Amino acid sequence: MQTTYRASYSHHYRRGLIALLEVLEFRCDNSHRPVLDALHLVRRYRSQTDLTYYPAGETVPTHPGLTGDWAELAYRVDGRGRRRAVRTVYEIRTFEALCDQLRCKGIWVVGATEFRNPDEDLPRDFEVRRTEHYQALRKPLDPAMFIDALQSEMRAELGALNDAMPLDWLEIRPRPGNQGSVKLSPLDALPEPVNLGRLKKVITGRWGTVPLIDVLKEAVLRSDCGTTIGSMFGRADAAGGQLLERLLLVLYAYGTNTGIRAVAAGEHGHREEELYYVRRRYLNPELVRALAIDIANATFSARQQSIWGAGSSTVASDSTHFGAFDANIFTEYHSRYGGRGVLIYWHVERKSMVIHSQVINCSASEVAAMIDGAMHHGTAMDVEANYADTHGQSIIGFGLTRLLGFDLLPRIKAINRVRLYRASANDAYPQLGAALMNRPIRWHLIADQYDQMIKYATAIRTRSAQTAAILRRFQQTNLMHPTYQAMLEVGRAQRSIFVARYLRDRDLQREINAGLNVSESWNAGNSIIYFGKGGDIPANRRDEQELSVLCLRVLQAAVVYVNTLMVQDVLAENLVELTSADRRGLTPLFWSNISPYGEVRLNMANRLALRATTTPDPAGSDDDPTTPSSEGPPR
């Protein structure tokens, strides 16, 4: 494998990588100087492609990339008994070492954004606006107050679990092997809803099977999408007429993955080149993301509390794997899902409305994606808690969510091996002894690094730095970064609080399980709507991939919005009686009344007979603003 790797580099990749050294300026601290010295050596011999070894008198810097199995290929003994560095292998390992240090920002690029100087990640106005930043995170200025609150909560939850033992569903005792000390019984099944199937039949009987394009049209016309489109396009007539029709068709083409050519063959009177023109000039991820937010906010406003309950402040986050064509250089193999592709990370609230989506690599941190979605979703929802599966939580995840001011509520697969920390060595919990750690939380680390932790939390909140970049910098330094160590201690304390409450509270276990089932149902809907090309993303460019996912998000949000209005209309007429089990399982995310397939027919005059909100006039100006022309992009 190493030989094949070297041959591929020598015959193709070397030319491009060497050229990058001429345009990128790298900087580092003194501890990573050998890697930069090695890059200077590579640059000096960039034009000598036929050179096997570096000259005998040349100083060849040694760096961490030349250890292990690679040392056997990187160095050889020549005929005179001298140890020589093989140029191609040395260059490969130097670039690999550079990549490793760029990820953790031991080395940075001058003028970059993601790979910039780590000192620039922290907010520059923190010292001036310290009080304001602390208030935004709802954290006290005094670290002692933060620690006292955390200690009190730990003692309360651990004490409550200790006093509640024994519990019918929980057993804590030493167990042999790798079984852990906690044994948690599965949840009992709840009564099945009996009238939800009847409700769906009544909806289908009243409105028929609605084409997906009509669902999208209805959601756009009934929400505030028209205002958003007009403001982004800079023209008042953008929310109606042919521009809106063509925009809906392109959204449908990307959201179903059928493509513009297939959609152009439908019955709507728009030519293929006109749709491609709208795609090139008007459609971009910022617009589609704004439309998804408008539909989500319209759904929140239209909901009736008597049917759907009080407004939710909790979301469930999970990833799903989308296949991608192998020709895409960004395609990665995912060991858990199998096959090549990319990950889409969703944030879905309790009643099945998506509030955030993002395209991430298969190797990316789901913890960072979870935090970004909960903090920067852009909708009117105020997220106070986040359900996640095992891959969306970690100790550092618990620490960051505590600092950022929302609860992490995960379903931990290896709950039987989770260990609990105590606030102090003197705290005694005899019923929990087998699950307790020997040492307490190191509160002095938290006190010493409290201000720095708030700085990093502020950087995430204000988006002055990417969450993934911060985590990569911490996790690649072998836990030596003092702020990272302090965040881990906060995370251990917060996870102990959560686990103690989770084991004791059967309702919390059921709540988390139900919330994550919502995200699984959302992932199941992807294959229904995104059916074109076998569900694989064909685009090679990351912005095209993101656009496809955002259009899919708009389509599913439109389904939830229209189904919400339909359910409310049917229940308002008392056509179906719902039991408590029915209301518990009631969701607007269903497709039995939706048809995403077949010929695309768009008629803006045909509207669904729904009560609910007022609708803007779909009639626009008679001119054709989307006819291909030589104009530049809209201002």
Looking at residue 330, what is its pLDDT? 61
- Band the pLDDT of 119: cuts 50, 70, 90: confident
| Across 43-57, 418-432, 587-601, 617-631, least confident range | 617-631
Convert the pLDDT of each residue in 450-464 to its tens digit: 999 999 999 999 988
Looking at residue 326, what is its pLDDT? 66
Of 97, 120, 143, the residue at which a domain comes to its end is 120
* Res 333 pLDDT > 90: no
Are residues 284 and 230 in contact, defined by beta-carbon separation less than 8 angstroms? no
Looking at residue 618, what is its pLDDT? 45
- The answer to whether position 142 is within a domain reads yes
Looking at residue 631, what is its pLDDT? 43
Choose among 320, 324, 368, 306: nearest CA to 348: 320
Domain shared by 144 and 115, yes or no:
no
Structural domains in the chain (count) = 2
| Across 62-71, 245-254, 623-632, least confident range | 623-632
Q: How, if at all, do strands 407-410 and 594-595 pair?
A: unpaired
- The answer to whether position 116 is within a domain reads yes
- Band the pLDDT of 535: cuts 50, 70, 90: confident
Domain shared by 365 and 491, yes or no:
yes
Are residues 410 and 374 in contact, defined by beta-carbon separation less than 8 angstroms? no
Give me the residue label for tokens 């530049």: 632
Of 497, 519, 541, the residue at which a domain comes to its end is 519
Looking at residue 619, what is its pLDDT? 43
* Res 626 pLDDT > 80: no
- Band the pLDDT of 190: cuts 50, 70, 90: confident
Choose among 358, 385, 353: nearest CA to 518: 353
* Res 240 pLDDT > 70: no
Q: Of residues 189 and 316, which shows the higher confidence score?
A: 316
Domain shared by 314 and 438, yes or no:
yes
Across the range 547-557, mean pLDDT stands at 95
Strand partners, 354: 348
Sorted by sequence, the CB contacts under 8 Å of residue 403 that are 6+ apart come out as: 137, 139, 453, 454, 456, 457, 487, 490
* Res 402 pLDDT > 70: yes
**Tokens of residue 21, six digits:** 């050294």
**Tokens of residue 185, six digits:** 């019984």
Backbone angles phi, psi at 408, to 5 degrees: -100, 120
Domain shared by 30 and 157, yes or no:
no
Looking at residue 475, what is its pLDDT? 66
Q: Of residues 240 and 87, which shows the higher confidence score?
A: 87
Cα(392)–Cα(371) distance, integer angstroms:
9
Backbone angles phi, psi at 240, to 5 degrees: -145, 175
Across the range 512-528, mean pLDDT stands at 90
- Band the pLDDT of 635: cuts 50, 70, 90: very low
- The answer to whether position 247 is within a domain reads no
* Res 339 pLDDT > 80: no
Strand partners, 122: none
Q: Measured in Å, how far apart are the chain's first and last C-alpha atoms? A: 52
Domain shared by 63 and 163, yes or no:
no
Across the range 260-279, mean pLDDT stands at 92
Convert the pLDDT of each residue in 583-611 to its tens digit: 888 999 999 999 999 899 999 889 999 98
Domain of 448, in residue numbers: 132-174+309-404+415-519
- Band the pLDDT of 430: cuts 50, 70, 90: very high
The single-letter code of the amino acid at 50 is D
- The answer to whether position 89 is within a domain reads yes
Domain shared by 114 and 151, yes or no:
no
- The answer to whether position 339 is within a domain reads yes
**What is the pLDDT of the chain when averaged over all its residues?**
87
Are residues 504 and 514 in contact, defined by beta-carbon separation less than 8 angstroms? no
The upper half-sphere exposure of residue 574, i.e. CA atoms within 13 Å in the direction of its Cβ, equals 0
Domain shared by 495 and 346, yes or no:
yes
Convert the pLDDT of each residue in 156-186 to its tens digit: 999 999 999 999 999 999 888 788 899 999 9
Domain shared by 115 and 156, yes or no:
no
Q: Which DSSP symbol is given to 449?
A: H
Domain shared by 365 and 482, yes or no:
yes
* Res 1 pLDDT > 60: yes
Looking at residue 624, what is its pLDDT? 56
Are residues 94 and 431 in contact, defined by beta-carbon separation less than 8 angstroms? no
Domain shared by 496 and 399, yes or no:
yes
Convert the pLDDT of each residue in 458-500 to its tens digit: 999 998 888 888 887 776 555 467 888 999 999 999 999 999 9
| Across 119-123, 148-152, 197-201, 389-393, least confident range | 119-123
Q: Of residues 190 and 250, which shows the higher confidence score?
A: 250
**Tokens of residue 137, six digits:** 């995170």
Looking at residue 614, what is its pLDDT? 43
Tell me, rounded to whole angstroms, the distance of Cα 299 from its chain centroid: 22
Task: Cite the DSSP H helix spans in 45-136.
Answer: 70-74, 87-103, 130-136
| Residue 325 exposed, middle or buried by CB count within 10 Å (0-12, 13-18, 19+) | middle
Looking at residue 501, what is its pLDDT? 96
- The answer to whether position 321 is within a domain reads yes
* Res 441 pLDDT > 90: yes
Domain shared by 473 and 510, yes or no:
yes
Looking at residue 509, what is its pLDDT? 94
Domain shared by 71 and 98, yes or no:
yes
Q: How, if at all, do strands 340-349 and 314-323 pair?
A: antiparallel
- Band the pLDDT of 621: cuts 50, 70, 90: very low
Convert the pLDDT of each residue in 224-233 to its tens digit: 888 888 888 7
Cα(454)–Cα(462) distance, integer angstroms:
12
Choose among 161, 159, 139: nearest CA to 149: 139
